[in-house]
């Protein structure tokens, strides 16, 4: 039997497929209510058992990430950082999704839905980027990603008519 890769954590039945880090204090977040629907999103996209990390931050933190990784010196709503995990047995670490709570609050107000709805919209959007969806490649890819966003949002019990991008 081959030895386990030093770059991957061994699978444990008690492992949490969705790890949420709240790195801000601007808004109270329902992190416990966000985890299970995102696990369902993993299942709905054939990634049950794989792992996803989520971080909630403020605009200054996401602005630095956006500047350093995308050369865009401004805050954004969500960033995705896919992991390039080697194929193998056990769960795969898909990557990290970083959400700006400041921007989510503004967008929820502008769109006219709850902060929780906006957080789910952004989490699903960022998660799909980890899977390779990219609305910035062109109109056809944007349509495909929007369709998948709506499908996954329905799977987790959210039907946001305002799911835009």
| Cβ-proximal residues to 52 (8 Å cutoff; 6+ apart), any chain | 17, 18, 19, 38, 42, 94, 95, 96, 97, 127, 130
What residue segments make up the domains of the chain, in order of their start?
A: 18-155
Instruction: Say which DSSP state 86 is in.
Output: P
| Domain 18-155 of CATH type 3.40.390.30 | yes
Over the stretch 47-102, which tens digit does the pLDDT of each residue have? 998 999 999 999 999 999 999 999 999 999 999 999 976 666 667 889 999 999 99
Look at residue 123 and tell me whether its pLDDT is greater than 60: yes
Strands across the sheet containing 93-100: 18-22, 51-57, 93-100, 78-82
Cα–Cα distances (Å) from 106 to 61, 77, 81, in that order, read 16, 10, 23
CB atoms within 10 A of CB 9: 12
| Cβ-proximal residues to 23 (8 Å cutoff; 6+ apart), any chain | 55, 56, 57, 58, 61
Look at residue 4 and tell me whether its pLDDT is greater than 50: no
pTM of the model: 0.84
Over the stretch 96-119, which tens digit does the pLDDT of each residue have? 999 999 999 999 999 999 999 999
Q: What is the CA radius of gyration of the chain?
A: 16
Q: What integer pLDDT is reported at residue 64 of this predicted model?
A: 98
Over the stretch 141-152, which tens digit does the pLDDT of each residue have? 999 999 999 999
Q: What integer pLDDT is reported at residue 11 of this predicted model?
A: 42
């Amino acid at each position: 039997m081959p030895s386990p890769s030093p770059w991957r954590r061994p699978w444990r039945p008690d492992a949490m497929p969705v790890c949420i880090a709240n790195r801000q204090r601007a808004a109270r977040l329902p992190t416990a209510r966000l985890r299970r629907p995102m696990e369902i999103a993993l299942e709905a996209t054939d990634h049950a058992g794989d792992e996803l990390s989520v971080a909630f931050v403020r605009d200054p933190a996401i602005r630095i990430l956006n500047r350093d990784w995308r050369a865009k010196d401004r805050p954004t709503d969500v960033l995705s950082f896919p992991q390039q995990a080697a194929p193998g047995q056990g769960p795969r670490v898909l990557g990290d999704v970083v959400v700006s709570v400041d921007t989510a609050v503004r967008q929820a107000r502008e769109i006219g839905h709850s902060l929780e709805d906006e957080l789910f919209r952004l989490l699903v959007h960022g998660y799909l980027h980890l899977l390779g969806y990219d609305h910035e490649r062109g109109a056809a890819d944007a349509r495909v990603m929007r369709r998948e966003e709506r499908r996954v949002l329905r799977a987790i019990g959210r039907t946001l008519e305002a799911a835009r991008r």
